[in-house]
Amino acid sequence: MRLHENLAAALRRLPLATLALTATAVAASSAAAAGFFELTPAALAAGESWRLLTGHFTHFGAEHLLWDAAAFAFLGTLCERDSRPRFLAALALAALAIPAAILLVHPALPSYRGLSGLDSALFALLTATIVRERAAEGGWGWVAVTCAVFALFLGKLVFELATGTAFFLQDDSAFVPVPLAHLVGAAAGLVAGCWTTGQGRVRVGEPEAIS
Amino acid sequence: MRIFHVPVLIAAAALLASGPASAAGLLIADGGLGGQLEIEEHDVRVVVNNGVAVTTVTQVFRNLENRQVEALYVFPVPKGASVANFSMWIGGKEMVGEVVEKIRAREIYDSYKRVNRDPGLLEQNDFRSFEMRIFPIAAGAEQRVQVAYYQELDWDHDTATYVYPLATVARPAVQARTKGKFALNLDVKSAVPIVEVDSPSHAQAFVIAKHSENYAQASLETSGGDLNRDLVLSIRVARPRTGLDVIASRPQGEDGFFCLTLTAGEELAVLDKGMDYVFVLDISGSMGQEGKLPMSREALGAFIAGLGDGDRFEVMSFNVKANPCFRTLQPANDAARQEGRAFLAATAAAGGTVLQPAVQAAYRYKDADRPLNVVLLSDGLTEQRDRAELLQLIQARPGGTRVFCIGVGNDVDKPLLEQLAQDAGGLAAFISRDDNFERQAQAFRRKLMRPVAENVRIEIAGVETYDVEPKVLPNLYHGMPVRLYGRYRGGGTAKVTLRADVGSKTTTSTVDLELPVKDGGNPEIERMWAWHRIDGLLREADRTGSREGAIPEIVRLGEGFSIVTEYTSFLVLENDAEYQRWQIARRNATRVARDRSAQQQVAAQLDALRKKASADVGPAEQARPAEAPAPNVATPSGRPASAPRPGDVDFGSGSPAPSGGRSHGGGGGAFDPLTVGIAAALAGLAIAARRRRVESHKP
């Protein structure tokens, strides 16, 4: 009985959704799969609406996938362990808002791929979570440092939006960066992070004592 | 003894009109003055390979008169076509002609004439048709001739139009009816997916089959058919995304030939903003012939009617001086349109053609913040000596100005108008009396409104290329592909980089394309490369004002690739011994043999495709019971219409690019190492914060 309970607790601590979604991104990394699942306005017009969601999980190459998936894995793990509903809400909101914004602002973009918009949502969600919890306990030093890190992230986004260039992305890379996706993703993450229903604190892996 | 006689005229390189040009090959007795020999058989085979059409016409005539006749063979050469071969059957044996330097060909011809044994000689004298006298044709005898010509098809609205000229204008009295079989078979191969093939002129008579997304076939066969109406076939293709396609040919032991086609895709947005137009109408004396002026008025009226609300326009007529209608740009409202039409109605053809003052006057309408389109309607029959000055004037146009040339009628100087338009970042179009002017105007406006890219540059790395034509690529318009011909050494994967100005930004895109180490299966592009190379040399020479330096290379290319030019002629001698006597290499005979062998191979491949397509025909339930319906409008290959294709590029559009000037086939969110580092710092904070919270809650 004890073994069964330990196993159940271990499973609860596992960030299953993060693992599953990261695995999905890896599985969709082949060129053929990416072509079939990427977000393209032409395909949407032809009725392939699944691409609105699947486009996030496709990538332009191994390097693109590596950094996006790595960030998703550790940010997702932390967010999901904090609150799976909030984690899923942030992802769902960002997953829909990002394509909408891209189609609206960049209708001529032939295709969109990448997890980083969702990564940005998780980044903002984690920031909001730390700030909310530390502020509730009077940890203003933590709040200040966290806000500083978030400001760094925002500063980078603004730089990319203003200059149209991206750090570490070479001119001959296979795609153009879309900072708008990061901005919209971050906004979605903040909205989900500010979501306090009072019942959403199902902490994955949190010590029993806390609840 | 059979004697071919007299010269002949013409055409190889260029011209005219999709409208009536003159009947398909006719053999007319008494040097063209007598009765027509009966057409017993008329077989036309056309292969359209990625927009390059090779037409082979075989005709069998019979002399029904009870006497020996000398006959004139008359054949129209369609616009932009290059005669590649002329064969006659003598005593059951095919005699293939050879292209020889023009002066030498004339000397050989004259030497035969002096002893009454004349060869056949084809010279390019103007743009229209060629004629060859044939003597003798015995009473009751049959005469078989074969002509092959190459042409790049005209594109508009993603549709290539193939016209087999049958309508007769040059000799209206001639009865153009075949007693025997008339057949036209057309095979279409296309790297860009074929949407449909149809015949606007003979919709009911053609049997059309699309065997795959890259191969379609059309055929028509009749007996005793009336040959006085042009056969028109439309081939519509669509590239879901802007992209590059390549076809190649690699003759054994030679460097390869390639043809790159850049096609604007469906993803490009409409550039929806007002523009300024100055319509410049030629009213010189030559426009009074063949109804050119009324035709121009009608076409201009349609253009003006098609202007948008945000557009402004001016109408100007010119002969030796320019006469503007408004003297200022007018908003395209009903009152201005009506005034413009009244101005046009009052024009009359008179005087010479001096284009410069009119073009200079049109430039003065350039407004700093609006694009100006100068639309020139003319037959382009300006003096040769004025050309260099005119070309300089075009190149010195104000920024943001494009010049579009519309050639009117059949007597048009197509090379000049095309060069003017190309040098001015515009394009040339040609209208004839049977055109639908409204459709032409709409198509033209669509191109104006959807300029995809300017200053298009293509760089090829990884495979050595040379003698690329054209040196400067024209602007890319929606519905009209841009082609680049060239040669290459070796082979393998080539990295093709495209750069172009789209709106105010320069975009760059790189794709990998395969250039075959052997074969390639597209011999058609070899002659088209040479034809473009000759064209490029002539253009460059005209720009400098002297052709002298270019002539040796033009002759070399003409002889090597069997192309009739102003400096080379087609000569048909009686037998192989005569060619040997004059030390004329049988290059064309060799090339024709190779082309025919390649065509047989292609025919076998196409036959295999047809069989495969036929095998797929049948009840879907029985053939593939387990297959689910396709998720999208699928091509015959099963690929969704929107699925990426090899060679897809992101060429931007009128909409803002997501980032800077770069554009590489798609956009994406990207977490780079710096962002991941920041995220890691946040993650560290989160972990530390959690530990602290856990510790603070411990009893």
Most confident of A128-132, B122-126, B546-550: A128-132
Half-sphere exposure of A14 (CA within 13 A, CB side): 10
**Residue A127, pLDDT score:** 94
φ and ψ at residue B32, rounded to 5 degrees: 100, -5
Could you tell me if A201 lies within 8 Å of chain B, comparing CB atoms? no
In this structure, the strands spanning B492-502 and B451-461 are: antiparallel
Residues in chain A: 211
Cβ burial of B345 (10 Å; 0-12, 13-18, 19+) is exposed
Q: Does the pLDDT of residue B436 top 70, yes or no? A: no
Cα torsion B18, B22, B23, B25 to 10°: value is -110
Structural domain tally of chain B? 1
Cβ burial of B338 (10 Å; 0-12, 13-18, 19+) is exposed
Cβ burial of B90 (10 Å; 0-12, 13-18, 19+) is middle
Coil, strand or helix at A108? coil
Average pLDDT over residues B639-650: 55
> What's the Cα-to-Cα distance from B274 to each of B134, B310, B372, B424, B534, rounded to whole Å?
59, 4, 10, 20, 39
Residue pLDDT, tens place only, B220-229: 888 765 666 6
CB of B162 closer than 8 Å to CB of B232:
yes
Which residue, chain included where needed, has tokens 């052709």? B547
Helix residue spans in B238-291 (DSSP H):
none
In a domain, A6, yes or no: no
Average pLDDT over residues B81-94: 80
Quote the minimal CA–CA distance from A4 to chain B in Å. 25
Q: What percent of chain A stands above pLDDT 90?
A: 36
Nearest-angstrom CA–CA distance, B588 and A115: 60
Average pLDDT over residues B255-273: 74
CATH number for position A81: 1.20.1540.10
Q: Does the pLDDT of residue A208 top 80, yes or no? A: no
In this structure, the strands spanning B372-378 and A176-177 are: unpaired
**Residue B662, pLDDT score:** 37
Q: What is the mean pLDDT of chain B?
A: 75
Q: Which two tokens stand for residue A162?
A: 């203003």
Q: Which two tokens stand for residue B563?
A: 């192309």
Q: What is the mean pLDDT of chain A?
A: 81
Q: Which of residues 132-171 of A touch B (CB under 8 A)?
A: 133-134, 137, 139, 142, 145-146, 149-150, 152-153, 156, 160, 163-169, 171
CB of B483 closer than 8 Å to CB of B257:
no
Run of H or E including B538: helix B524-544
Residue pLDDT, tens place only, A16-51: 999 999 999 998 877 667 777 888 776 777 778 888
In a domain, A126, yes or no: yes
Coil, strand or helix at B402? strand
Quote the minimal CA–CA distance from B303 to chain A in Å. 29
Please answer yes or no on whether A176 and B668 come within 8 Å at the CB atom: yes
Q: Which two tokens stand for residue B121?
A: 């000689």
In a domain, B339, yes or no: yes
Structural domain tally of chain A? 1
Run of H or E including B510: strand B505-515
The larger pLDDT score, comparing residue A63 to residue B330, is at B330
How large is the C-alpha radius of gyration of chain A? 18
Which of chain B's residues have a Cβ under 8 Å away from the Cβ of A207?
Answer: 694
**Owning domain of residue B323:** 276-449
In a domain, A206, yes or no: no
Closest of B326, B411, B309 to residue B361, by C-alpha = B326
Residue pLDDT, tens place only, B377-423: 877 656 555 666 667 777 777 777 878 878 776 666 677 777 777 77
The larger pLDDT score, comparing residue B440 to residue B322, is at B322
**Residue B25, pLDDT score:** 65
In a domain, B394, yes or no: yes
Could you tell me if A67 lies within 8 Å of chain B, comparing CB atoms? yes
B498-516 burial, b if ≥16 CB within 10 A, otherwise e? bbbbbbeebbbbbbebebb
In a domain, B21, yes or no: no
Quote the minimal CA–CA distance from B511 to chain A in Å. 10
CB of B245 closer than 8 Å to CB of B192:
yes
φ and ψ at residue B659, rounded to 5 degrees: -155, 125
Nearest-angstrom CA–CA distance, B243 and B510: 10
**Owning domain of residue A30:** 16-193
Helix residue spans in B306-436 (DSSP H):
334-345, 355-363, 387-395, 414-423
Question: Could you tell me the pTM of the whole model?
Answer: 0.56
> Which of B478, B635, B662 should be substituted to probe chain A, the one whose Cβ sees the most A Cβ atoms within 10 Å?
B662
CATH number for position B307: 3.40.50.410
Please answer yes or no on whether B660 and A176 come within 8 Å at the CB atom: yes
Please answer yes or no on whether A176 and B650 come within 8 Å at the CB atom: yes
Nearest-angstrom CA–CA distance, B419 and B428: 8
In a domain, A202, yes or no: no
DSSP A141-208: HHHHHHHHHHHHHHHHHHHHHHHS--TT--TTSSSEE-HHHHHHHHHHHHHHHT---SS----TT--T
Run of H or E including B492: strand B492-502
Please answer yes or no on whether B696 and A137 come within 8 Å at the CB atom: yes
In a domain, B146, yes or no: no
Residue pLDDT, tens place only, B191-243: 788 888 888 778 778 888 888 888 888 998 887 656 666 788 888 887 767 78
